[in-house]
Amino acid sequence: MAKTGTFADSLFKGILTVFAGTIILVVIAMIVMMFWNSLPTIKEFGLGFLIGSDWQPASDVYGALPFIYGTIVSSVIALILAVPVSLGIAIFLVEQAPRSIASPIAFMVELLAAIPSVVYGLWGIFVLAPFIRNYLGPFLQDYLGWLPLFQGRLTGIGMLTGGVIMAIMVTPIITAVVRDVLEVVPTSQRDAALALGATKWETTLIVLENASSGIAGAVVLGLGRALGETMAVTMVIGNAPQISASLFEPAYTIASVLAANFAEATDRLYLSALIEMGLVLFLVTFVVNAAAKVLVMGVAKGTNAARQA
Amino acid sequence: MNKIRNISVLAAIVAFVMIGFACSGAPLSGTSDGGDGSGAMRLQGSGASFPKPIYEKWVNEYQKVHPDVRIDYQSTGSGAGQKAILSRTVDFGASDDPMKDEDLAKADSELMHIPTVLGAVVMTYNLDGVDKPLRLTAENIAGIYLGEIKKWNDPKLTADNPDANLPDEDIFPVYRADSSGTTAVFTDFLAARVPAFKDKVGASKQPNWVEGVGSGQPRNDGVMGLVKQTPFSIGYVEIAFAKANNLPTALIKNPAGNFVEATIENVSAAAAGSAAKMPADLRISITNADGENSYPISSYTYILVYKDQKDARKGKALAEFLWWAVHDGSQFAKDLHYAPLPQEVVGKVEEKLKSITSGGNSLLENPGK
C-alpha cells in the first residue's frame, strides 16, 4: 500500500513537472523561432530597424519606430483612463455598495470582458469615433488646444480613439482582479481601522495599501491585453505609420500591423520584418511585466517593513 | 487511495498520448489527394477576396450539375493566393492582379493565368449635400492621395464640378492598410497617368503612401465603413461593396476625355477596348483602356492553374469547372456586379484550358459536355 502510494505520488509529480516544463519550452521555442525567422531583417537593418521611422514595404525599407511609439502611447492612454476608473469601480463594489447593487454591477463588468474584440471595433467606428469627432475632440481643442497633443484635424479616427477603446476593453479585467484582491484583505483590518476612529476614506486607504501588490498585478494584466490588442484597435486607430504629437492623428500599433499584413506578406524580407516586429512586441511585453514584478516586490517589501516597525 | 492512483494513471496516459502526438511529427492535415476513387472529388482554391461572391455562386451552381465535385474557395487575398499555388498547397490560386515575372519564375512548372470575370474599383466619398455624382480625374485623385489637394473646394475639383456645392473642408483620404489587389488596380490606374504619383507612391499591392496623408483600413469593408462614418472622407473600394451599401460613386475621366460611370457595360467596354492587345499569357492591365465609354479603373481577376496537372482526375475536374465557369457561369456575373468576359477573350481562355495536360495527355477531350 505504502509502496504503490509512493509510486503514484512520484508519477503524479513527474507528470506535473512535464506540464510545467511545457510552458517554458513553448516560450523558448517561440523566441528562438521568431529570432531565427527575423534574421534577414536583423542582418539587413540591425538596430536601424528599431530606430528607423520609414515603413515602405514596396521599397523594402523597414523601420519599426512608428509602431513601437504607437503601441506604447496608445497603451499608456488606455491605462491612464482605465486604472482610476477600474479602481473606483472595484472599491465601490467591495467597500461601499450593498450586495443588492454590487452583484448586478459585478456581473455587468464581467460581461464586458466577454465581448469579442471585433464588436468593440465596430462600436468604436460607429459610436466612439463620431463622439470624439463631434463632442470630445472639439471640447479638448477649446480648453486644451494650446497643447500640441490636441491640435490638428479631427476625423474621429486616431491615437486617442485607439487608446479610449483599449481603456474600455481593459477596464473589466483590471476591475475584476482588483475586486478579488480587495475581497481577500481581512475584514479584521477594516474593523480595527474603524474601531480606532478612522473614516471610511482612511479605512479604504489602509485596505488599498495592503492590496497594493495585487493591484499592481491587475494593472500589468490590463497592460498586457492593451499591448496585444489587435482587431478593435486596427479598426479605429487609422493605421498610418507616423509619429505625430497630436493624439487626433492616425497612428499604428505593432499588433495592428501584424493583423492587417501577416497573411499577405509574401516577400521574404517583408515577412522577416513582420516577425521581428512580433519579437519586439514580445520583448516589450516581457520587459514591462518584469519591471512591474520588480515594482510589486519593492512595494510589498516596503509594506512589510512598515508593518514590522 | 485507489481512486487517486486511478486518476494519476489516467493522467499519465493522457500526458503520454499528448506527447506522442506532439513528437510524432506526422502531418495532421494536408491537401486531400481526391484520387482515392471513392466519394466526391475535392478541389481546393484560395486567393483574391474581390471575386469571392461570384466564385461562391459558381461553386454552388456547379455542385447542382456536378454533385461529384466539391470545390472549396477561401478568400485569403491575392498575395496569399499566389503564395498558395506556388507552394502547391491548393489546386488553384486566385489573384486580382497578374503575377509579376519574378514571382512567376518561382513556379516549378508553367503556371497559367485564366481570367474569369471583370470588376471595377470605384471612388466613394462622404459629402452631405452633394447629390450628383462627383466628377474626378486621375490627376485630381492623385493630388488628393499625394496631399497636394487638401480641401474639397480646391479650384481643381470645382472646375470639374461647377454645380456641386463643395465645402471648405479638409479631404480625408482612406486607403487599404493591407496588401490588396484592389490597391494594385487603383495605383496602376493613377501611376500610368500621373508621373509624380508613380515616383512617390508607385503601383503595387501595398505602395508607399505619403506620410501624414489620410488613414489606412484593413479590407474593403474597413475602407467602406470608415468612409461611411467620416464626413469629408474619400476612399476606393470594389464596386460590389459600394453597390451593396448604396454608397455614392464618382464618375471618372477616361483617356478619351469622358467622365464615365462604373457600370457593367463600361467595364466590358474597357475589356473590349484592350482585347486586341492581350498577350499570349493573358496577363494584362486594362486600366485606362481606349474607347469612348471605357471605365478606366477596371480589371480582370484571374484563377491560377498549373498547365501540367500532377493528378489527371483532379486536373480534369478543375479544367471542366473552369470551362463551365466562363461559359454557363457567366450568366450569374451581372447580378453580382461583375462583367462577364468579352467573347474574344472567352475564345482565348478556351485555348488555354484545352492546353491543360497531365503526363502529356490533354484533359479536356470534348469540352462543353
3-state secondary structure at position A262: helix
Q: What is the pLDDT of residue A151?
A: 83
What confidence category does residue B16 fall into, taking pLDDT thresholds of 50, 70 and 90?
Answer: very low
Distance between CA atoms of A129 and A124, rounded to whole angstroms? Answer: 6
Helix axes A268-308, A254-261, angle to 10 degrees: 150
Q: Is A146 in the B-facing interface, judged by CB distances under 8 Å?
A: no
Cβ pair B212:A5 closer than 8 A: no
**Nearest alpha carbon to residue B106 among B84, B128, B130, B126:** B84
Q: What is the pLDDT of residue A21?
A: 95
Distance between CA atoms of A206 and B109, rounded to whole angstroms? Answer: 74
Look up cell 502611447; give the residue: A73
- Find the residue in B nearest to A12 (Cα): B8
Residue A272, CA distances (Å) to A171, A277, B86, B146, B338 in order: 34, 9, 19, 29, 37
What would the grid cell of residue A300 be?
A: 510589498
In angstroms, what separates the C-alpha of A276 from chain B's closest C-alpha? 18
Phi, psi of B184 (to 5 degrees): -60, -45
- Find the residue in A nearest to B84 (Cα): A266
Question: Does B44 have pLDDT greater than 90?
Answer: yes
Q: Is A244 in the B-facing interface, judged by CB distances under 8 Å?
A: yes
Between B366 and B248, name the one with better pLDDT: B248
In angstroms, what separates the C-alpha of A155 from chain B's closest C-alpha? 7
Question: Does B37 have pLDDT greater than 50?
Answer: no
Pairing of strands B251-253, B135-136: parallel
Cβ pair A250:B170 closer than 8 A: no
Distance between CA atoms of A101 and A91, rounded to whole angstroms? Answer: 13
Residue ranges and CATH numbers for the domains of chain A are 66-308 (1.10.3720.10)
Distance between CA atoms of A200 and A198, rounded to whole angstroms? Answer: 7
3-state secondary structure at position A52: coil
Cβ contacts of A11 on chain B, cutoff 8 Å: 8-9, 12
Q: What is the pLDDT of residue B27?
A: 38
Q: Please enumerate in sequence order all residues whose Cβ is within 8 A of that of A235, keeping only pairs 6 or more positions apart, or say none.
A: A118, A121, A122, A124, A125, B217, B218, B222, B225
Percent of chain A predicted with pLDDT > 90: 49
pLDDT tens-digit map of B159-175: 999 988 899 999 999 99
Q: Is A121 in the B-facing interface, judged by CB distances under 8 Å?
A: no
pLDDT tens-digit map of B98-149: 888 988 998 889 999 999 999 999 999 999 888 899 999 999 999 999 999 9
Cβ pair B216:A238 closer than 8 A: yes
Out of A1, A59, A156, name the one closest to residue B230 (CB). Answer: A156
What predicted TM-score, i.e. pTM, was given to this entire model?
Answer: 0.81
Average pLDDT over residues A218-225: 88
3-state secondary structure at position B357: strand
Q: What is the pLDDT of residue B26?
A: 39
CA A67-A73-A79 angle, 5° bins: 135
pLDDT tens-digit map of A46-81: 889 999 988 888 888 899 999 999 999 999 999 999
